[in-house]
A and B are shown apart, each in its own frame.
Chain A
Amino acid sequence: MVIEANDKEKPSFARIDAIVHKHNVEPGAVISILQEIQDTFGYIPPVAIQRIANNINTPASEIFGIVTFYARFRLQPQGKNLIKVCHGTACHLGGAEMVAERLAQVTGAKEGETSQDNVFTVERVACLGCCSLAPCIMLNSEAYGRLTPEAIDKIVTQIRKKEVPTSVG
């Protein structure tokens, strides 16, 4: 099993500016900018909002409004591994709550939280589209289906083995 952890960069003005200038060649680029900011740093750092605002001449409040409108944007840093728990219809019927419950137990992070050791962030998503394999999760960018409590334990243990816990900070 290949599991790649998301090692994210520390936010810097130079990097933020570079991202803004890469996308800002055409109108309506704010969302693309925010997406790359999040992919790079793991979240939207508050300093980035003001910086983007200055760069593209848009009120920071408007950018903040966009960040909070779209579910994908997160204002808190993300753990090294992102687990998205699917709560689509098929997964709901197939035991998504059971999956979330077990994940919370073994990762130490409930949905919407990051674990103390910063190894996991667990998120709730509407549907991953793997309905025939319900219940399923997405770990970083790989989907895992037909989950049982045992299978969840296995996936989490495998990551834990690879990760030397780092302190939050």
Chain B
Amino acid sequence: MERDKSWLIKIGLAACGIAAGGRKVYEALSTQLQNKGLDMKLKRTGCMGMCYNEVLVEVSSPQNGRTFYGRVTPEKVDRIINEHLIGGKPVTEWIIPDKEINSFLAKQKRIVLRNCGVIDPESIDDYLAADGYKAIDKVLRSMSPQEVISEVTNSGLRGRGGAGFPTGIKWGFARKSPGRQKYIICNADEGDPGAFMDRSVLESDPHSVIEGMLIAGYAVGASEGYIYVRAEYPFAVQRLEVALAQARKAGFIGNSILGYDFDFNIKIRQGAGAFVCGEETALIMSLEGRRGMPRFRPPFPAQSGLWGKPTTINNVETLANIPWIIRHGAETYNKYGTEKSRGTKVFALAGKIARGGLIEVPMGITLREIVFDIGGGTSTGLEFKAIQIGGPSGGVIPASLADTPIDYESVTNTGAIMGSGGLIVMDASSCMIDIAKFFLNFTQAESCGKCTFCRIGTLRMLEVLQRITEGNGKEGDIELLEELALNVKRASLCGLGQTAPNPVLTTIRYFRDEYEAHIYEKKCPAKKCHALITYEVIPEKCPGCGLCVKYCPTGAISGEKKKPYVIDNEKCIRCGLCMKVCRLDAISVH
């Protein structure tokens, strides 16, 4: 069957794809192709970016072009194979329309994500076929370490972990530091809740990060590298291990790499669940086998880092940019972006967004373009209210500032920070005090406890937020929060404490009226805060099916079958399970 062979079937199997049931779809595809005696190529790939449509299957052939199927289940596989791959007619009701794909991709520029969803992450041959390891070859063959540093400096690349320090300059510091033994650390301790850029890159294109580390090692004169990965990413660790073994076998890692006078080895270290270890000095402590507590800088890691040796720490996304920059040149890279923020940025777009996923956009794009053109607006149909950028260190930017361009300086001017790339879209049903409390709760728990203001100040702030959401807010609470916030920022040693108050400060700045509604009117406008809302059955809509009774954890719902039920407000804990399971929308919240 000659025609069969031209079909290529790709399935996205990063953690998101697997969480959506991708392995079962892969098995179904593989078994059915075999059963039907079809000799077609089935390929596993990484994150295709359109996470909202997982499980994603791409079907392509030179004659027929590409077709994407979204939300594929094992049950759908049979028809896709029979009608499309054998019959030549796509199953139109399941394909993702071209228009949707185009609007999702039109404003994106994929540099970091160049191979994500394209190659098989567990195949070094695929990476090589996509010009992989050509950059390290070019560097070793024709560039001096100083030339590599200049190239990266000229590209304008800034650290993508959040702080935005120019990468080339950082490398230059470590190069100049005296000492024979130097280290490269890849910071893959992606701890911001709501961020999954680094996970996706590691799971979809691990070799690009390894190649970036090799180039960094050559540039600063290091012979050893560590990848510090979060414990919550077992799958990323697994793919990295496969990639490292392949690279070692192919001679890209080890001694005399590609026959040149350059040795470099890489080890993986897993974190153990401490957010503060994303901070570079804490990360080093953790690598040294200690409690991950930040220390005062200077000395900076470039002078005295791991085991007291000069150390360069770069984030995953930063490193994944490097091979592309070397291959295409600094001039090509810095054409993208704005004057001070060059290139692209990867964002994890999530929350109440219609088309959430992994996106990469040129710096300078506006939030509005991201939310509406790429993301397709809110998923609920409710009004777009705000966007949270930068995770627990960042802030909330209101819809009224949606035309803010994404670059380090403009985002900082709003009171938020660029951060590592989490973008959480919020609609009219999201309570701003609740979200501020959510982030502060996180940073408070993750504070290492070294600085008094971070340890106790954040707790006092959290208590104030707690009483506001419980309906016990007092006059002066907003001012108290502002005062505490300022002190915590000023008196904390590391980025965790210095930025922890940002979510509170930005929500006060842009949504003061919402704080006031909680404090003075004892109302939660978004109907989220448990103490300020009640659930009620709408008698006209309730058929008395009893489903909500089955799910209510406290036995607060009672009544006779086939007659409207009643919720006992004394027993109700406002968990909302009843509303979630009711198929007739017969439960309302006030």
Q: Say whether, besides A90-B351, A136-B19, A131 and B388 are in contact (CB < 8 Å).
A: no
Interface string of B220-246 (1 = CB under 8 A from A): 000000000001111100000000000
- Tell which of A69, A125, A127, A150 touches B274, judged by Cβ atoms closer than 8 Å: A69
Chain B residues numbered 253-300 whose CB sits less than 8 Å from any CB in chain A: 269-275, 286-292
Name the B residues within 8 Å of A28 (CB-CB).
Answer: 287-290
B356 within 8 A of A: yes
**Contacts A28-B289, A35-B270; is A98 near B576 (CB within 8 Å)?**
yes
CA–CA, A141 and B196, complex, Å: 17
B interface, by DSSP: helix, strand, loop or mixed? mixed
Closest-CB distance, B241 to chain A (whole angstroms)? 14
Shortest 10 CB-CB contacts between residues of A and residues of B = A132-B51, A89-B194, A131-B350, A70-B272, A129-B196, A28-B289, A71-B273, A143-B19, A72-B273, A88-B193
- Interface stretch, picked from B28-36, B406-414, B422-430, B558-566, is B422-430
Question: How many residues from A make CB contacts under 8 Å with B?
Answer: 52
Report B531 CB to chain A, min CB distance, Å. 14
Q: Across the interface, which residues of A come within 8 angstroms of B446, CB to CB?
A: 126
Contact call A92/B19, Cβ cutoff below 8 A = no
In the complex, whether B348 has a CB less than 8 A from a CB of chain A is yes
Residues of B within 8 A of A (CB): 15-16, 18-20, 23-24, 51-52, 54, 190-196, 199-200, 231-235, 269-275, 286-292, 307, 348-352, 356-357, 388, 391, 422, 424, 426, 430, 435, 438-439, 442, 446, 448, 551, 553, 575-577, 580-581
**Is A144 a contact partner of B275 (Cβ separation < 8 A)?**
no
CB-contacts of A85-111 with B (<8 A): 87-90, 92-93, 95, 97-98, 101-102, 104-105
Q: Which residues of A are found within 8 Å of B274, using beta-carbon distances?
A: 69-71
Interface residue from A125, A127, A145 paired with B195 (Cβ < 8 Å): A127
A65: shortest Cβ distance to chain B, in Å?
6
Min CB distance, B400 to chain A, in Å? 20
Q: Are A65 and B16 in contact (CB under 8 A)?
A: no
Q: Are B54 and A72 in contact (CB under 8 A)?
A: no
In Å, the complex CA distance between A72 and B233 comes to 12
Q: A90 contacts which chain B residues (CB < 8 A)?
A: 194, 350-351, 356, 424
How many Å from the CB of B572 to the closest CB on chain A? 12
Known: A88-B193, A98-B577, A132-B52. A30 touches B350 (CB 8 A): no
How long is the Cα–Cα vector from A136 to B191 in the complex, in angstroms? 17
In-complex Cβ contact of B191 among A89, A93, A126 (8 A): A126
B575 touches A98 (CB 8 A): yes
Query: Does A169 count as interface, using CB distance less than 8 angstroms?
Result: no
- Given the known interface contacts A89-B388, A97-B575, the answer about A132 and B193 at a Cβ–Cβ threshold of 8 Å is no
14 CB < 8 A contacts A-B: A29-B289, A35-B272, A66-B290, A70-B273, A72-B271, A73-B273, A95-B576, A101-B575, A129-B190, A130-B15, A132-B52, A132-B357, A136-B19, A141-B235
Q: Given A87-B193, A90-B424, A144-B19, A132–B289 Cβ distance below 8 Å? A: no
- In angstroms, Cα B357 to Cα A112, docked, is 30
Residues of B within 8 A of A87 (CB): 193
Besides A35-B272, A136-B19, 11 more A-B contacts (Cβ < 8 Å) are: A28-B287, A28-B288, A32-B269, A69-B291, A89-B439, A126-B442, A127-B195, A133-B19, A133-B20, A138-B232, A145-B19
Chain B residue contacts of A84, Cβ below 8 A = 232
Whether the Cβ atoms of A129 and B199 lie closer than 8 Å is: yes
Q: Which residues of B contact A132 (CB under 8 A)?
A: 16, 51-52, 54, 349-350, 356-357
- Residues on B with C-beta less than 8 A from A59 are none
Instruction: Output the residue of A104, A125, A133 with the most chain B CB within 10 A.
Output: A133
Q: A89 contacts B391, CB within 8 Å?
A: yes
Q: Which of A105, A127, A142 has the most CB of B within 10 A?
A: A127
A102–B577 contact, CB under 8 A?
Answer: yes
A52 to chain B, nearest CB (A): 11
Contact yes or no, A31 B272, CB < 8 A = yes
A158 at interface by CB-CB < 8 Å: no
